[in-house]
Amino acid sequence: MTTFKQLQENLNIHELIKSTFDVDLALAGNWGYTKENATIIEALSENMTLLQLEHMITSIRAHLEMNITQEQENRYGAINANERAREEERNEEGVFNKVTYEITAIKEDLYNAFIKEYKEGYGKEDFDISSHFKRRKEATLTREVIHYFEVSSVQ
């Protein structure tokens, strides 16, 4: 079983995201594992809502945790984040969103094999599509994560 370590705190996450994903986001702070180390959203990106931006940042964090920082044999693909719950806290320190996401993913090698099988088998008489998707579902890892965002600047 692969363990996913929290990303190192105190990095310049804005620069790391820009250099790794070629996305320029108005962010500061840390990776949002705790309220004290929240990801600070300084401004919304053009044509993006706060919910979309929070989802994008959580997806970036998941890709870093589950793929980019892993050894080749432990990398996951098909990483998806789905919001499950949200709480807002307002106090003298600012406005915080505590968002719970369900992250799903499949080991990268296995996922690539499923994609190949699907492409080669789809439309053929002997391809059992329901078995294919059942096996994909069984191979999917599901984890629950919490991401804290400080959103005072965009309220």
Say if residues 57 and 147 touch (Cβ distance below 8 Å). Answer: yes
Alpha-carbon span 47 to 30, nearest angstrom: 24
**Stated pTM of the model:** 0.91
Contacts for 67 with CB less than 8 Å, ≥ 6 apart: 75, 76, 77, 79, 108
Q: Which residues of the chain have pLDDT under 70?
A: 1-2, 10-11
Q: Are strands 141-150 and 27-29 parallel, antiparallel or unpaired?
A: unpaired
Alpha-carbon span 87 to 11, nearest angstrom: 26
Per-residue pLDDT, 94: 94
Per-residue pLDDT, 54: 97
Quick: pLDDT tens for 27-61: 999 999 999 999 999 999 888 999 999 999 999 99
